[in-house]
Structure 1
Amino acid sequence: IFICLFILAFQPNLYICVCVCVCVCVCCITGVCRYPLGMSGGQILDEDISASSQWSESTAARYGRLDFEEGDGAWCPEITVEPDNLKEFLQIDLRSLHFITLVGTQGRHAGGIGNEFAQMYKIKYSRDGSRWISWKNRQGKQVIEGNRNAYDIVLKDLDPPIIARFVRFMPVTDHSMNVCMRVELYGCEWLDGLVSYNAPAGEQMNSPSYPIYLNDSVYDGAVIYRCGLGQLTDGVCGLDDFTHSHVWPGYDYVGWNNESFPSGYVEIMFEFDRTRNFTTMKVHCNNMFSQHVKAFRQVVCYFRSDLDWEASPLSFSPVVDEKNPSARFVTVNLANHMASAIKCHFYFADAWMLFSEITFQSGIDQRTHICMCAAVYLLENIADDPTHKVDDSNTRILIGCLVAIIFILVAIIVIILWRQVWQKMLEKASRRMLDDELTASLSIQSETFTYNHNPNQSGTTSEQESNSTYERIFPLGPDYQEPSRLICKLPEFAQSSEDPGSYSVPYFQDGVPHYAEADIVNLQGVTGSNTYAIPAVTMDLLSGKDVAVEEFPRKLLTFKEKLGEGQFGEVHLCEAEGMQEFMNKEFLFDIAEDLPVLVAVKMLRSDANKNARNDFLKEIKIMSRLKDPNIIRLLAVCIYSDPLCMITEYMENGDLNQFLSRHEPEGQLAQLSNAPTVSFNNLCYMATQIASGMKYLSSLNFVHRDLATRNCLVGKKYTIKIADFGMSRNLYSGDYYRIQGRAVLPIRWMSWESILLGKFTTASDMWAFGVTLWEILNYCKEQPYSQLTDEQVIENTGEFFRDQKRQIYLPQPVLCPDSLYKVMLCCWRRNTKERPSFQEIHQALLEIQP
């Protein structure tokens, strides 16, 4: 931007297109299209907001901004809205095409004076201002549930999303009533450039069990001209098995049979907003060849830049894959063709061809391309042109500024490299000091147990490193301040010390200091994935007690499979014979005594160092104290000889993530596909058990730090027990984010204060419980924030930190009632003190559970 300003100051006519190009490239990095488009923020101007009518000047369209109380507090139409009257609307002009994924509505509160709101509404949209299209969801429903009072903001996902410039909100009622509205649109600018596509209607595939409809069910083009957008641009990629869908079999795909096309190909025409320089086209194809479905054999594309089609088309043939049935993106190189329209012939490779998404990547358009070429040409020749004397002084200034900027950039790079080297030196020095002094002292009186997850940090790693802030790792924008400076401004982290320089960012919960304030003993888990941080005095008290579990004969363990491994050991799934004889009477198995019991065995490696060995023995002492029906129990140990082992429960149905991903909700689709089902009642029952187990841990001031469905095991009759070794499994490596090759963190489950400030408390466990509940109600079919990259997840925590109402929440699952989604939102409150306790959550779930 600074370079653009320098150039524009001296050569505005010549370089403006270069700066526009740079700005466009920056704006292309939109992240996730769920950002407010400007009703509440003021980016949408008053003249771009209009309405069919208004009650008075103080309730005009410009007052229909979400969360604003200006005027009389909202837009209100002139007349009472009738059930069959859809003439009243609030219209927004976005000035350009936008990809809109979410809408928000609010009534007229006016500081307690107003009480008008829209209980229901419809949305119409247009790309050109002349042809209006009624939005409908994937089930064909047009009416959207609105507000139940005049003050709460209700957000609704648009599924499918819409691509439009003009949007109208149209209040709907089932009886005559006064309505007022405040609204907001969420999304991002539509930079793909595609304004319509024209494709043959999708066809029906007849299977032995049920018909599979492969039509474009959300296509918004006119019936006659077929000029619109639909499922090929809705951002949803189909599953590997096209017979599965959240709506009906085949829903996510548009498909054609080769018998209907004697020419052997399907023609699809794409129209764009302007002439563009196309680099690639990505086509998401199904390749389930067992059902005679394959990706296209060849595609031939024709390009039109003005009025005529180019004579020589482009041909591309992908490699036909008959081994992997997975759906995939096929990338077609468009060789930088300039065009405003593209017509492609997709040739069949088998009986059927199924597409779910088609996107285009374009470089600089023609005019900008010419402008940049001219700029480069003049930049290269201006210094050598002796006739160019007019702006000679400006040229010298420009060159001097550019040289100065280069020097500044070099200096910044040097500082960054020096800082990284210095940090590594400090870390090495810290590790050496801790190696020499393993005994920690405690300066507080209270006993605080902390069962936490802090991967890949050995028992000799300091708590200061474990709770290190992320100010040097995650840049969150130009207005972002380092947490160590900003933390003093946050109410929940108010500083009690008079000396700002000595502030150590303690976290207080119910008057009990967090363990980070005191010297602690770190216990490295055998799998390398968890660290038990226990106050030193408490650890001394535990060490004085005998282990409450017995030695188990190794010969009675039969290896089944490796569940995972870590830095210091491995976790094996084994069968234990005669385990019932070694258990206390309080622990009962529902398995006959002569049958083996399924157990998980944590085994310390023979090459583990002395510190890891001591931590392993201390971990046994702590685990033996945990006794709750919903917490995995330590059953026995093998410590009389190497390798050291601890034997814990293992549930026959494995972890909750894999269990739910293999099941479907009860309904017609599950019956058609013969898939196993789990009822909503059982989902609530499992979530209630997790809350009960966490209530027990929180009562001991244990902080889990990695609560997720992968760390919950499932037994008979949907029994749930919380475990801790999910991260050691390669199956879930994608759920963890590695920071500078050091820490590995489950950022998609972590609260904002855990990611940015390194603070793990019962309140942060509550945040993770909300995400776990979201997983359960989605049947673990989707990773949290699946539409975000890891970096964007971290950036989103910065929005929680700044609290400017731009943060993204996980959407309400399809099967989730409003009451249960409110429980999730309570778990994700920004202020840690406002989040409920696990006792409150457990009671709330008991009341919700049918």
Structure 2
Amino acid sequence: CLKNPRMYFVYFTAAPLCLLVFSETCRYPLGMTGGQIQDEDISASSQWSESTAARFGRLDFDTGDGDGAWCPDIMSEPGGFKEYLQVDLRSLHFITLVGTQGRHADGMGNEFAQRYRIKYSRDGGSWMGWHDRMGNQVVEGNKNTYDVVLKDLEPPIVARFVRFMPVTDPSSIVCMRVELYGCEWLDGLVSYSIPDGHQMIYRGLDVFFNDSVYDGATAQRLTKGLGQLTDGAWGLDDFLHSHVPGAWPGYDYVGWSNKTFPKGYVEVVFDFDHIRNFTSMKVHCSNMFSRGVRLFRQATCFFRSESEWEPDPMTFRPSAEPLSQSGRFVTVPLGDRTASSIKCRFHFGDQWLLFSEVAFQSGKTIRALPFTTREDPTHKVDDSNTKILIGCLVAIIAILLTVIVIILWRQVWQKMLEKASRRWLDDELTARLAAQTQAFSFLRSSQSSEDGSGSGSISTYERIYPACADYQEPSRLIRKLPEFAECSGTSSRAGVGSDGAPHYAEADIISLQESSDSGSITAVNMNLFAGSDLTLREFPKEKLTFKEKLGEGQFGEVHLCEAEDMQDFLGEDTSTEGSSESPLLVAVKMLREDANKNARNDFLKEIRIMSRLRDPNIVRLLAVCVDTDPLCMITEYMENGDLNQFLCSLRLKTLTGGEADQQEGSDEVRYSVKLLGMAVQVVSGMKYLSSLNFVHRDLATRNCLVGKNDTIKIADFGMSRNLYRGDYFRIQGRAVLPIRWMSWESILLGKFTMASDVWAFGVTLWEILTLCKEQPYSQLSDEQVIENTGEFFRNQGKQVYLPKPQCCPDRIYVNLMLSCWRRNAKERPSFQEIHAQLTETR
């Protein structure tokens, strides 16, 4: 864990235990949406009307009254920054993420903040303006009234009061709904005071060790603020490099030269929120002694509880210096001393002293009341009231237990009835899968020769579940979609956390919808793998170094890691990215230890399935770690990220002249050929999956990864990333669906088949040829997209198709894209046919 730079310390006061927590997991909603933050803790500089008061400025929250957002009384003026929405969190919090939204007003609102600034305070008196690590103060906000826009605060802030200040140009009316994400700041540190950092000249290179994110006074000595020593990120072993792209050398460290300190030490003062009992202090230091940087040779700490510093300090000298030049944490014992401020003097061990992070282990000090043997005559216990209270509590508990038993009993009976009513469907489904296994080789020819009325007709795309009694037309589906999904047996593995936090459910690369609960049956022939059970070897977890979190879901997380000796572990005949002399970058999908039994079984099933997939255009499972918890699967990591972001960067190069200009005819042809080459790789991977009767269910550019030489492989990490939250439509908090990529029968009937994957490929091809410049059907809202699927169902010629991309040849759009979106699933081309057509076109 100490090798991971994106972590910070949280100390529990009940026991002398230091707990390391990933900073990415400190992203819980703090109560604007959920209502934990009370109305009286939300205030504003002004309000447009009573219906747009501050209390209505809650993200994604509708109380039924008001106009659905906070709106200031007057127009926001450029450079004025007078209007603000303020949230009081009641205590200090570590805030890592903010979310904003425009005005709702039952769909009639059209006001939102395109840009805004953030101010914060820890005491309500001194206010600081937030800026990112590059000094930018303005945050890009919303582009419409309904989408939620989440912005990471880099660096994060420690605050109790937070103000959102809309910025507009030109003057206009703005409205906002907001949410804060983070966790409680248990460290207790409210400010530290240090000398300003120095500049090093190393081989002609300027290296700056100033505290660039400090939020206090910065005149010579930095006072009354927090900065890089408490931002949750510590420096790399080589201080010339940084975690932040484009940062200057030395950015991660605050450091000083001994030439300006005649006494031979640097003095740092730490102030806390209240008196605490301190056990130890951890200081992350650089130790590159080859460049004149070493750990401190002695630390002397003074303590202050009231107004004067106590005369007897604690002195600590680190043990024998290790030979390694890597950065490290040094633990300084503080002897359970009680104080509200600590002053430490760190003595130089060489020419330079560099710190990147400081954290404290402490417990709250509870002052004892004066002891007396005399009873307080005013303190009387009312025995009768106490008995009544206890009786009421017992009655409430008994009622709750009765209700729970009734609910559980009804669920048991409901499952039994469902099982009995669907027994004939299970028999029919078993017969169909068996027949499909025998007829797989001649399925296409039999479909073309049969008219569908005979008993010998076999169709992968037949409706498995009949429509129920309260089936409704798609035009009425928007209000009834959750009920309709229950009726047709449709469910989605993708979910949203119950607390509404921005951690999203993960989607597997291959979906095995075998259980009767899923409602959408994927044609999976497990006999295809009979006799070829491939067992993956166990990879030592200690050889994995966690670098960055890529995403998280309801039961697991995906991390970017370095795997030592992975090439030797896999064998010389295995082709993977990277060299055998350096650690290999891999993606590690980790199941949380608190996951339930079903999640563990699904995780092991996914490992069993992925271990059998071998294709150049499918992300490969390299190894597993299943001997001990947490369970892990190790897959390839593609260095150029996902295809969506890769195409966006390609589009930016095009606009600046870095690539071919699409406005010229010959260059346009060459450019479209390059993009079609990417599409060929995607369809090649899907052709392989379809040959095994696997259905992906979430094919899109966000789920395709790009490696060296523009190699593209199909994966499944898009849904677990916060970046693509807007691509998924939430159904009343129960499930999220990529509706803009889904076929009409998947949305309305819950049918996921090879044909629905072909539909999604048509949308993915459209993304590729437009360089992902906009979301599919960007002119339509989510509800309108669902209405459009109803037009496909009615087939009256009113359905809306995606337009032809600018650089797309006519034959590709007409003969391929539109054929992927045919209403009749049987008339859509197979992936084998698409691959042949694209290869011929190139």
Instruction: Quickly say closer, same or farther: Cα 1:121–1:200, change in 2 above 3 A.
Output: same
Question: Partner of 2:40: helix, strand, or coil?
Answer: helix
Could you say if the C-alpha distance between residues 23 and 202 of structure 1 is closer, same or farther in structure 2, counting changes exceeding 3 Å?
Answer: closer
Residue of structure 2 in register with 1:51 after alignment: 44
Residue by residue over 1:659-717, the C-alpha shift from the partner in whole angstroms, topping out at 9 and shown as x without a partner, is: 679xxx99xxxxxxxxxxxx999999999787455433333334799x999x99966xx
1:330 match: 330
The TM-score normalised by the length of structure 1 is 0.53
Q: Residue 171 of structure 2 corresponds to which residue in structure 1?
A: 176
User: SS in structure 1 opposite 2:357?
Assistant: strand
Match of 1:228 in 2: 225
Pairing 1:99-248 to 2, within 5 Å after superposition: 99-224=94-219, 226-245=223-242, 246=244, 247-248=247-248
Counterpart of 1:170 in 2: which secondary structure?
strand
Compared with structure 1, are the counterparts of its residues 333 and 446 closer, same or farther at alpha carbon in structure 2 (3 Å cutoff)? farther
1:696: which partner in 2? 687
Q: Which amino acid aligns with 2:491?
A: F
CA distance in 2, matches of 1:71, 1:390: 45
Preserved contact between residue 506 and residue 513 of structure 1 (Cα < 8 Å): no
* Aligned-pair CA distance for 1:720: 2.6
Cα deviation, 1:705-752, whole Å, max 9, x if unaligned, reads 9x999x99966xx15375xxxxxxxxxxxxxxxxxxxxxxxxxxxxxx
Q: Aligned with 1:282: secondary structure?
A: strand
Distance in 1 of aligned mates of 2:325 and 2:676: 36
- 5+ residue gaps, structure 2: 1-11, 374-380, 394-429, 441-484, 494-513, 540-564, 576-608, 621-634, 647-657, 661-670, 725-729, 742-746, 774-842
**2:711 maps to which residue?**
720
Q: Distance in 2 between matches of 1:96 and 1:680?
A: 52
In the alignment, the residues of structure 2 paired with residue 55 and residue 721 of structure 1 have an alpha-carbon distance, to the nearest angstrom, of: 51
Match of 2:281 in 1: 281
Preserved CA contact (<8 Å) 2:282 2:332? yes
State the match for 1:355 in structure 2: 355
Q: For the structure 1 residues 490 and 356, does the alpha-carbon distance in structure 2 shift closer, same or farther, using more than 3 Å as the test?
A: farther
Distance 2:66 2:706 in 1: 56
Distance 1:448 1:277 in 2: 74
Contact 1:48 1:94 in 2 (8 A): yes
Distance 1:704 1:50, change over 3 A: closer
Secondary structure of 1:699's counterpart equals: helix
- Map residues 610-689 of structure 1 onto 2, 5 A cutoff: 630=617, 657=637
Task: Say whether the 8 Å CA contact 2:289–2:325 is kept in structure 1.
Answer: yes
Secondary structure of 1:249's counterpart equals coil
Following TM superposition, by how much is the alpha carbon of 1:122 offset from its aligned partner in structure 2, in angstroms?
0.6
Matched with 2:55 is 62
Alpha-carbon deviations, 1:799-841, whole Å to 9, x = none? x999489x9xxxxxxxxxxxx9x99xxxxx9x99799945644
Aligned residues: 530
Distance change (3 Å), C-alpha of 1:153 and 1:526: closer
The answer (yes or no) to whether the contact 1:193–1:273 under 8 Å persists in 2 is yes
CA distance in 2, matches of 1:352, 1:685: 55
Shift of 1:329: 1.4
| Cα displacement (A) at 1:207 | 2.0
Cα offset for 1:186? 1.0
Which residue matches 1:493? Answer: 491
Q: Indicate the residue corresponding to 2:306 in structure 1.
A: 306
CA drift of 1:82 comes to 1.5
The reply to whether residue 319 of structure 1 matches residue 323 of structure 2 is no
* Distance in 1 separating the partners of 2:132 and 2:313: 38
Equivalent position SS for 1:342: strand
Q: Is the 8 A contact 2:16 2:361 kept in 1?
A: no
Distance 1:221 1:257 in 2: 23
Q: Hey, what does 1:606 align to over in structure 2?
A: none
Cα distance, 1:46–1:845 mapped onto 2, change above 3 Å: same
**Cα distance change, pair 312–841 in 1 and its aligned pair in 2 (3 A):** farther
Give the Å deviation of 1:527: 4.1
- Give the C-alpha shift of residue 44 in structure 1: 1.1
Q: Deviations over 1:416-438 (max 9, x none)?
A: xxxxxxxxxxxxxxxxxxxxxxx
1:102 shift after superposition: 0.8
Tell me by how many angstroms 1:272 deviates.
Answer: 0.3
The 3 A distance-change label for structure 1 pair 107 and 703 is closer
- Partners of 1:236 and 1:357 within 8 A in 2: yes
Distance 1:631 1:133, change over 3 A: closer
Partners of 1:361 and 1:66 in 2: how far apart? 35
Match of 2:806 in 1: none
| 2:801 is the alignment partner of 1:844 | no
Return the match for 1:767 from 702, 706, 716.
716
Distance 2:285 2:98 in 1: 31
Deviation at 1:489, TM superposition (A): 10
Identity of matched residues, %:
47
2:436 pairs with one of 437, 446, 449: 446
Change (3 A) 1:563 1:366: same
Q: Which of the numbers 60, 71, 74 marks the counterpart of 1:76?
A: 71
| Structure 1 counterpart SS, 2:80 | coil
1:28-47 Cα shifts (integer Å, max 9, x gaps): 99983211111111111111
Match of 1:512 among 497, 522, 526: 522
What amino acid does structure 2 have at the position aligned with 1:336? Answer: D
Offset, 1:442: 9.8
Cα deviations by residue, 1:589-626 (Å, 9 ceiling, x for unpaired): xxxxxxxxxxxxxxxxxxxxxxxxxxxxxx9xx98xx7
Whole-Å Cα distance in 2 between the matches of residues 326 and 89 of structure 1? 45
Q: Aligned partners of 1:519, 1:694: CA distance in 2, in Å?
A: 18
Deviation, 1:334, is: 1.5
Partner of residue 524, structure 1: 533
TM-score by structure 2 length? 0.53
Which residue pairs with 1:563 in the alignment? Answer: 567
**Distance change (3 Å), C-alpha of 1:44 and 1:181:** same
Q: Counterpart amino acid of 1:768?
A: F
Describe the SS at the equivalent of 1:697.
helix
Q: CA deviation at 1:252?
A: 1.2
Q: Deviation of residue 842 (structure 1)? A: 5.2
Q: Distance in 2 between matches of 1:337 and 1:33?
A: 29
* Counterpart residue identity of residue 202, structure 1: G
Does the Cα contact within 8 Å between 1:214 and 1:255 map onto a contact in 2? Answer: yes
SS at match of 2:364: coil
